[in-house]
């Protein structure tokens, strides 16, 4: 008892839930109902209070550092045991990690748990809010079932119902003309997932940080259509202790071009960690890098010459720590 094991089931549940809302657009039209622009609504992982604080901290409505709307955020708010789905404690099932059946494992049945989520939507005008909400609500009647690959080592896939529990609306009209209006909808969900114990036998294999979601459409007399999505979290900072290069000179927080000792191995599209700040590389010209500062919502600060510059690589994705934002940063990349 109490041997070490970690299947990343809760992490996969969080990623799967966020992926459901990670591709929502709103359209803006002119007086003739012609579409003038299509905006992808950013999705971030974090509490609603953090985003409200960013809205309220800056009295200058035109200041570039102010949060932009529309925007969505979500967070896991609680975990509770679900006694209604309990099975016999000693009941087991057989599973195999190989297609030829040469590696059979006996496992105890998983424990049912409910994971609570809150999805918060922020907009400036009501029409944008209604566009977003109408793209979500039809799928929850009141639940939407997704298939999650909870244990990739044994290929254990489970249907996880996502239940929409409630919707609350907050529209504040009071305040002076310098106060920015924020229209907020909060949707509360419950995901009915399962927690597995240690696998009884077989060689130890790495748990891949990936979640697979699928659903079927169609009923009696109609053709069945299966759709499958795959979501993989990405690291928002470098966990490596090895510096890729170093700053050749001081970098002020107002500058978007940094000069490094060597740009070898750095290409456009890479993300770099400089201290506690992450930057996105848009262009490489010799040893000068044009970057987007404060990427992944990190703080833009001054850096002194000689500071180490670390490349965020695929290896960092396997080292994402608990407390990271699961790859949902609310930014376009």
Distance CA 327, CA 320 (A): 9
* Residue 273 Cα distances to 179, 240, 326, angstroms: 35, 10, 17
- Percent of the chain with pLDDT strictly greater than 90: 35
- Give the range of the structural domain holding residue 134, as residue numbers without chain letter: 9-231
pLDDT by residue (tens digit) across 124-145?
Answer: 888 899 999 999 999 998 899 9
Instruction: Indicate if the pLDDT at residue 206 is higher than 50.
Output: no
Is the per-residue pLDDT at 64 higher than 50?
Answer: no
**Which pLDDT belongs to residue 65?**
43
Shared domain for 160 and 291, answered yes or no, is no
Query: Which residue among 231, 260, 293 closes a domain?
Result: 231
Same domain, 257 and 135: no
In this prediction, residues 269-277 reach a mean pLDDT of: 91
Say if CB 186 and CB 170 are below 8 A apart.
yes
Q: Please check whether residues 82 and 224 belong to one and the same domain.
A: yes
Task: Specify whether 132 is located in the same domain as 180.
Answer: yes
Q: What is the CATH number of the domain that holds 259?
A: 2.40.30
Tell me how many domains the chain contains. 2
* Euclidean distance between CA atoms 181 and 147, whole angstroms: 39
The sign of the CA dihedral 251, 253, 255, 256 is positive
For residue 202, the number of C-alpha atoms closer than 13 Å in the C-beta half-sphere is 20
Coil, strand, or helix at residue 161? strand
Which residues are within 8 A (CB) of 128 and not within 5 positions of it... i.e. 6 or more apart? 26, 69, 70
Residue 79 and residue 111 in one domain: yes
Single out the residue of 195, 102, 181 nearest to residue 148, CA to CA.
195
pLDDT tens digit sequence for 274-285: 988 999 999 999
Higher model confidence: residue 196 or residue 288?
Answer: 288
Q: Specify the pairing of strand 156-171 against strand 183-195.
A: antiparallel
What's the CATH code of the domain at 115? 3.30.2000.40
- In this predicted structure, what is the pLDDT of residue 8? 87
Query: How many other C-beta atoms can be found within 10 angstroms of the C-beta atom of residue 215?
Result: 16
In a domain, 88, yes or no: yes
- Considering the entire predicted model, what is its pTM? 0.56
Query: And the tokens for 93?
Result: 């099932």
């Amino acid at each position: 008892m109490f041997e070490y094991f970690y299947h990343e089931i809760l992490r996969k549940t969080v990623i799967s839930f966020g992926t459901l809302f990670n591709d929502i657009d709103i359209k803006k039209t002119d007086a003739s109902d012609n579409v003038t622009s299509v905006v992808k609504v950013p999705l971030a992982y974090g509490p609603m209070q953090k985003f409200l604080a960013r809205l309220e901290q800056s009295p200058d409505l035109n200041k570039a550092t102010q949060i932009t709307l529309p925007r969505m955020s979500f967070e896991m708010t609680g975990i509770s045991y679900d006694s209604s789905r309990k099975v016999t404690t000693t009941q087991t099932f057989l599973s195999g990690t190989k297609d030829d059946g040469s590696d059979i494992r006996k496992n105890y049945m998983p424990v049912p748990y409910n994971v609570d989520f809150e999805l918060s939507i922020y907009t400036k005008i009501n029409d944008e809010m209604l566009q977003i909400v109408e793209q979500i609500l039809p799928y929850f009647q009141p639940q939407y079932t997704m298939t999650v690959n909870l244990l990739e080592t044994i290929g254990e896939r489970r249907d996880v119902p996502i239940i929409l529990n409630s919707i609350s609306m907050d529209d504040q009209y009071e305040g002076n003309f310098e106060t920015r209006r924020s229209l907020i909808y909060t949707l509360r969900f419950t995901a009915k997932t399962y927690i597995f114990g240690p696998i009884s036998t077989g060689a130890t294999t790495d748990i891949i940080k990936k979640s697979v979601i699928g659903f079927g459409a169609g009923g009696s007399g109609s053709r069945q259509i299966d759709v499958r999505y795959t979501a993989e979290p990405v690291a928002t900072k470098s966990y490596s202790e090895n510096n890729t290069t170093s700053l050749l000179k001081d970098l002020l927080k107002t500058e978007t071009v940094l000069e490094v000792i060597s740009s070898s191995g750095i290409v456009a599209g890479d993300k770099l960690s400089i201290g506690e700040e992450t930057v996105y590389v848009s262009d490489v010209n010799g040893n000068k890098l044009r970057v987007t500062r404060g990427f992944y919502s990190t703080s833009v600060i001054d850096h002194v010459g000689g500071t180490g510059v670390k490349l965020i690589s695929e290896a960092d994705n396997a080292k994402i720590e608990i407390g990271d934002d699961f790859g949902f940063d609310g930014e376009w990349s």
